[in-house]
Amino acid sequence: MKLPEYRWGIFLADPAHDRRIGFGDFMGNPVWQEVPGEFRNQLRRLIVTQGDTEPASVEQQRWLGQRCPSLYDLRNLFQVNVEEGRHLWAMVYLLHSYFGRDGRDEAEDLLERQSGNRDKPRILDAFNEPIENWLDFFMFTMFTDRDGKSQLLSLSESSLDPLSRTTRFMLTEEAHHMFVGETGIARILERTCQLMKEAGYSGDARKLGGIDLDTLQKFINLWFSLSLDLHGNEVSTNAASYFANGLKGRAYEDKWEDHAAIESLYELDVLQDGKLNRQHIPMRTAMNEVLRDWYVGDCLAGVTRWNKILERHGFADRLRLPDRKFNRGIGMYASVHFDPQGHRLSDQDWARRKDEWLPAPNDREYLLSIQATPVYEPGKFANYIAPPQRGVKGQPINFEYVRTEL
């Protein structure tokens, strides 16, 4: 369809008959079709935070078309961008329809903030990071969109039914974004393995214009740790009150046995006076950490699938998720440094060694050098990435997925 004919839609999952509040202090009551006055601020804040991430990601990704590895990938980028734009629309619909004047003001402010802007940045840190190359993009859609999945799963449990229904619909699209990320990295890895073999098992895929495993690992370390931060503090009274008030549940709340979570405890390594101590904290205050646990498990499954590619090609190397204390900017582990195995580091050791674990300027320069020219010819792929196994919606891989004529 031509761009001027495109219409943003507001999609809500079908209403569930006689839906009841499934957790917290109001469990069993009918869900709300309007916003209760006493929870107005908290709900607005959650919706604004969610809404703010959506245009942010499009702003972050706006340079990628000029560096795309194929028309197939360009098409996927555009679909992701259009859907994120629509997710913003969905959150703005909630603000306009349910929050009156202040909702409309908040919606305006969403247009004022901009990813990476020094004066008016986006609310959450990961959404101010530049996404300048396709490795960033695929890692972002693998790891940061997966935080989208965690957060949308927990918001879809909300007692505010319009919020639950919009987020339930958004989740269906989030799945495709993660597919783009996971298969994007899988295709790079496939090509890396081919190039490593061509290089005589020397392991240096860069010599042949590919992306080496060390660089892939550094980008995993970066985007996984940034996305862990998106789950908030380990111990959070905000999270406890969201849960108590029925605003935000856990992922798949119905799979839990105890939906009140008043008595139960959560075991956590608490950093005190520079030392880690295993402690029991009230479950409600640990809800961010509970969601983070779910998230880490979901990421791990993806990394295990990537490692099957290395295994199939006969390589002993493996990709790994870093320890969850590594490179944290939010939460109790942010005040000290840890290596990817979770060992404490002094500030000096961190400064000396961090480029071993996180993308360094020369890694970024290298990636930009191999992505300098976009590949716009149908069926052609940049040297560092393998073609997908199949095209989109039954079309062949060499289909002209994006028309580039004016």
Helix %, strand %, coil % for the chain, to 5? 55, 5, 40
One-letter amino acid for residue 347 of the chain: D
Q: Residue 76 interacts with ligand BYC (CB under 6 A)?
A: no
Interface stretch with ligand BYC, choices 181-189, 224-232, 355-363, 383-391 (CB under 6 A): 224-232
Task: Give the H or E element holding residue 272.
Answer: strand 265-272
Angle 147-243-54 from CA coordinates, rounded to 5°: 30
Q: What is the largest CA-CA distance in the chain?
A: 67
Q: To the nearest whole angstrom, how small is the minimum distance from the Cβ of residue 50 to ligand BYC? A: 4
Which DSSP state fits 337?
E
Give whole-number Cα distances, 346 to 277, 343, 350, 352, 353, in Å.
19, 10, 6, 10, 11
Looking at the Cβ atoms of 164 and 288, the one nearer to ligand BYC is 288
357: three-class secondary structure by DSSP: helix
238 binds ligand BYC (CB under 6 A): yes
Please work out the total of residues on this chain that contact ligand BYC, with binding judged by CB under 6 A.
Answer: 25
Contact indicator for 165, 172 with CB cutoff of 8 Å: no
Stretch in the footprint of ligand BYC (CB under 6 A) among 51-59, 195-203, 207-215, 305-313: 51-59
**Cβ-proximal residue to ligand BYC, closest one:** 232
Beta bridge partners of 345: 337
Q: Does 156 bind ligand BYC (CB under 6 A)?
A: no
**Binding span for ligand BYC by CB under 6 A among 50-58, 101-109, 156-164, 271-279:** 50-58
Tell me: does residue 167 bind ligand BYC (CB under 6 A). Answer: no
Least separation in angstroms between CB 400 and ligand BYC: 27
Burial level of 393, CB count in 10 A (0-12/13-18/19+)? exposed
Q: Does 79 bind ligand BYC (CB under 6 A)?
A: no
Give me the least distance between CB of 43 and ligand BYC, in Å please: 10
Least distance CB 151 / ligand BYC (angstroms): 4
Out of 288, 328, 358, 366, point to the residue binding ligand BYC (CB under 6 A).
288
Place of tokens 């979770």: 342
From residue 104 to residue 143, the character string flagging contacts with ligand BYC as x (rule: CB under 6 A) and all else as - is --------------------xx------------------
| Pairing between β-strand 337-338 and β-strand 344-345 as defined by DSSP bridges | antiparallel
DSSP label at 156? T
Query: Could you list the residues that contact ligand BYC (CB under 6 A)?
Result: 46, 49-50, 53-54, 57, 84, 124-125, 144-145, 147-148, 151, 229-233, 236, 238-239, 248, 288, 330
